[in-house]
Structure 1
């Protein structure tokens, strides 16, 4: 309501005044036929003359417009105070985005990367459908005015977090997205938001942990009480982007039904590039059974790869990697032709360089070469997906107006191909769609474990047979991976997930179920290996040893049945959510 009043009051008053002005002219000319239009207009605008009829109403509207214009000028000049009043006292059910940083202490080696641009982009993308309050230490007047014009309340606050939460009306908010530059600031802010003194037991907190190396070892249970974990979601910008890129623009879409190897051409091995490699290793398990190949082009690529491999020693067991030491800006047409002629044809290209101009250049060159090659031989054009940095406009413009035949896509944390409605934040964090399915998967696992205990009293309940809220984050992530891989499985049997109300459900054949079971086993095996598990004849959860970390053919029939049951259970869960398997 306040957004509507602020945005449309003055234009409405001005339009009303103009309409009444012309009506007043017509009224005066009807009363005095000798008056010209000009004289009638002058008389109508004489505000101190006693008038009635349309002139009276017009004068009133003009006075109100002038008064409201004064208020608007005040709000533009000292508008933060206005936003403070509304956010602190009146806004309810809103989303808080907290960005900014504190001063570096004496032990800080370097300043963290600012998330202000990301916060502004998120606020802008969410504003059309949500009430947004953005809290930052400072912001330039142009940005603040632009945000204010789309309904975002901007709070300038650089005090302690308890005062900040009061200033943004956190006691009446529904969600807090902590995007501070330091991850410990985000943890402290979320802890303050969970405090009973805030008196908001339903507040959901989304806590960004940066950089990626910190996210890999972060354990929420070390920082938060058990009764608050259900309202907490930890995320990392690079990981979130990588998961959604893999989902929105899968590398197997052109070869899912074939025996061809998936081959990813990746430009840039920064945080997003590393997260994409990790995602391919965890989720790249296809009908062909072949390991996916990744060709990585970047400067200092070998040292970056060593950093990634040190965090995930098993990653080389699950992907074939070719590393090319080269600055993205130095790529030429001959190099692109050589990569396109690889024995394993490229199936997708991800341009994840830090420079959007470099991403644009390599995307255009690649598409031009592929289209040219298509004239000479029958081939499939690999789509190019470019990462759009916060505040970027060049890639989005090329997507909208460039000559790429629909084979170019742009992606960022706030949307894909220019559509903010399907933003990563909205799809993965605010609606918790991923967790809805993941929770159901875990609940089914827990129910089966407890049922087995009833049938066999000597059965030992698994340590992870606990409520979702009590699970460690890596176990929650494992369930999210199960849910995320189902689309890959559907493409492998030429199916998709449809609506139970509108589509006809397909019955899987025995062979199809076996294909999906093998894919699920390989996905589970890779996920365990990347989390530090290894093969051993006797299971030991403390030492991370499991006897089933072997090829599917080497499993016992009972263990193979567990994989089949896992697939069938997933189908059952999806059906309960209104989704069924439909053949293409």
Structure 2
């Protein structure tokens, strides 16, 4: 209730800020005419000619705005009393507002010196930066400072109306960063949309913070326990992010600054594979079932990130390689070649097929031939333009209905970077983990990528990394208990200081945990949920299945990272002795995978969750439904 009230207040305040000039003009006009009408009632009449009286009333009404009304008003009507009080204060408000528009930016920036670590700075106000700044304005008490070099940027104007401090300038300029007081902010988001510029801005921020820290240390005004600034750098190009994954600068964490790379496409793909994972729609239990085969429309950066997440997580109890088919136009051939060069062992992980045909112009005969050749359980639509994605999914589904073919579930990934998203997004239902409610005729879901992913919870609070952090904390505790130090093992550090490539390995392990639970007909729930805790793994047979699945997942991860089999481990040459089938592993190596399965309940306990049976969840849901129907 309190949250709804706050959202309503924000909505009303936003409306007032957007229409403030019109509102003030209307108030002035209303008070003037009310004063004019009031004076017509109280001014003495002189003869039969009322023209002089009307001019006197106009002049007297104007004087009310400058505190120049009469002192004695005993016979005045009530409306004139109200005008006499409100009119001058409205004029004062307008004057102060005008002065604020001229000097407000300087005053607001000056006041930031008293809000140490209680404001954020967003550099570059595109769709990504805009949504994150909007989240802070609506859901946080922190002030928001915007840095943008486009004076006519409408997104900056919207945020400014809602209370953000807009600073026009280039974030590469150290003077602009100093004016925005980035060194005193709690978070800085470098989201210009240009990867190279974002990296350069991060270097500029580092220089500003280092200069201020040196100055503070020289004057003795630095406290050892002061919180550090966290700088989030958007790097969306996969190759660029990979270059900086091991770079010393982007693993920088010192007493004043922590740099963090944010890859929007990877974060969106992880979020989609969490809420719209293939096995939520279909789960092969043995090699007697239809194999998992997913269709991808388009081959842009998001589609590539989705394909990798699919290759990492689509490992089930049938132990077969997952299959994927990509439909993309002929212009994607170069992107396909580069993708295959980057992931040279992709075919060892995934049965991957590319068909160079535009999904928008695929004719019914070709579509029918594809569906007769293989069965697709799911289709991810990740085209560049939202209109194309929506129309392609609806067109292919309509043709499938006409042919009488079994349903294919469509997940349309909306980029939300054009006006169409604002027009149609109110018609899209929220994404639900339970897919049984999807209609057979139109099994289409619309995943609003920015609304679902560009949030404080995901970008700042690492919601997608909760399980990955728990995995590392459990590993860290085990190493400490065994007496291992950082000198013996560089990974014996907290999550914050863990190198980025090791974080990625933990993220990939965490991404498959829910798949394992679903294979065992389980899921996770909050500890306080009124559901009985389930034994996990349920039995020794499932233990072997899950351990074998985990080994298959681990092999896929290593192969996608470029590793191949070698009798002796050599990380320089990307060789690993465990990259072999489950049957060829020693019993001690198999026990490592079993130990990981046994750890799952303890990992969930670290984040306040437990393992529950899917059957128990269904029974509880049915009980709640019966109770609701039998209500008063």
TM-score, length-scaled by structure 2: 0.75
CA offsets per residue over residues 341-365 of structure 1, 9 Å max, x none? 442x222222222222221220221
Q: Secondary structure at the match of 1:128?
A: helix
Whether 1:352 aligns to 2:382 is: yes
Cα distance in 2, alignment partners of residues 365 and 77 from structure 1: 54
**Structure 1 residues 157 and 330, CA, compared in 2 at 3 Å: closer, same or farther?**
same
Partner of 2:294: 264
1:505 aligns with 2:536: no
Q: Which residue of 2 aligns with 1:138?
A: 150
Give 1:567 shift: 2.2
Inter-partner Cα distance in structure 2 for 1:567 and 1:189: 45
In the alignment, what sits opposite 2:435? Answer: none
Structure 2 residue aligned with 1:95, among 109, 117, 120?
120
User: Are the equivalent residues in 2 in contact too, given 1:298–1:324 (CA < 8 A)?
Assistant: yes
Instruction: Give 1:479 deviation, angstroms.
Output: 0.8
- Does 2:143 match 1:118? no
Answer yes or no: is 1:322 the counterpart of 2:353.
yes
- Give 1:219's aligned residue: 245
Which runs of no fewer than 5 residues in structure 2 stay unpaired?
1-5, 44-53, 217-225, 430-437, 615-632
Q: CA RMSD in A?
A: 4.0
Q: Report what 2:137 is aligned to.
A: 127
| Aligned pair partner of 2:363 in 301, 313, 332 | 332
1:478 correspondence with 2:509: no
* Cα separation, partners in 2 of 1:337 and 1:152, compared to 1, 3 Å: farther
Whether 2:451 is the aligned partner of 1:415: answer yes
Q: Distance in 2 between matches of 1:433 and 1:364?
A: 32
Mean Cα displacement is larger for which, 498-507 or 488-497?
488-497
| Mapping 1:416-565, distance limit 5 Å | 416=452, 423-452=453-482, 461-502=488-529, 503-508=531-536, 509-510=538-539, 511-565=541-595
Which of 190, 197, 209 lines up with 2:235 in the alignment? 209
Distance 1:531 1:57, change over 3 A: same
CA gap of 1:465–1:90, structure 2 versus 1, over 3 A, is closer
The 2-side partners of 1:262 and 1:347 are apart by 7
Aligned-pair distance for 1:313? Answer: 0.8
- How far did 1:44 drift? 10
Is the Cα contact below 8 Å between 1:87 and 1:133 reproduced in 2? no
Give a deviation string over 1:193-234, Cα, whole Å, max 9, x none: 652625764211211224221112223542257543993321
Within 5 Å, which residues of 2 pair with 1:167-182? 167-180=179-192, 181=194, 182=196
Which stretch shows the higher mean deviation, 432-441 or 17-26? 17-26
In structure 1, which of residues 50, 57, 67 is the aligned counterpart of residue 70 of structure 2? 50
1:191 aligns with 2:191: no
Q: Which residue of 2 aligns with 1:579?
A: 609
Residue 14 of structure 1 and its aligned partner are, at CA, apart by 9.1
Partner of 2:162: 150
Query: What SS does the corresponding residue of 2:321 show, helix, strand or coil?
Result: coil
Number of matched residues? 547
- Of 59, 62, 82, 2:84 maps to 59
Shift of 1:484: 2.0
CA positional deviation for 1:562:
1.0
Q: Is the 8 A contact 1:500 1:580 kept in 2?
A: yes
Deviations 1:445-478 (A, max 9, x none): 2333344457xx9xx9444334434432111110
TM-score w.r.t. the length of structure 1 is 0.81
Aligned counterparts of 1:31 and 1:409: Cα–Cα separation in 2? 68
Whole-Å Cα distance in 1 between the matches of residues 337 and 519 of structure 2? 33
Q: Is the 8 A contact 2:563 2:574 kept in 1?
A: yes
Q: What residue number does 1:393 align with?
A: 419
Alignment equivalent of 1:308, drawn from 339, 354, 358 = 339
The 2-side partners of 1:91 and 1:58 are apart by: 43
Contact kept, 8 Å, 1:233 with 1:429, in 2: the verdict is no
Q: Are 1:569 and 2:596 matched, yes or no?
A: no
Distance 1:195 1:525 in 2: 42
Deviation of 1:573 after TM superposition, in Å, equals: 1.8
Matched residue SS, 1:321: strand
1:250-287 deviation per Cα after TM superposition (whole angstroms, max 9, x unaligned): 12211125443222221221211211122112222223
Shift of 1:328: 3.7
**How far, CA to CA, are the matches of 2:111 and 2:397 in structure 1?**
50
In the superposition, relative to structure 1, how do residues 171 and 551 fare at CA in structure 2: closer, same or farther (>3 Å)? Answer: same
Partner deviation per Cα, 1:535-567 (whole Å, 9 max, x = no partner)? 122223343322211222322222122112112
- Unpaired segments ≥5 residues, structure 1: 33-38, 100-114, 417-422
Bigger mean CA deviation after superposition, 214-223 or 243-252: 214-223
With over 3 angstroms needed to count, the CA separation of the structure-2 counterparts of 1:140 and 1:409, relative to structure 1, is farther
Question: 1:363·1:386 contact (CA, 8 Å) conserved in 2?
Answer: no
| CA distance 1:203–1:364, shift in 2 (3 Å) | same
Q: Name which one, 1 or 2, has greater alpha-carbon Rg.
A: 2
SS of equivalent to 1:191: helix
Structure 2 contact 284–317 (Cα < 8 Å) conserved: yes
Q: Distance in 2 between matches of 1:284 and 1:155?
A: 46
Aligned partners of 2:249, 2:181: CA distance in 1, in Å? 24
Contact kept, 8 Å, 1:21 with 1:44, in 2: the verdict is no
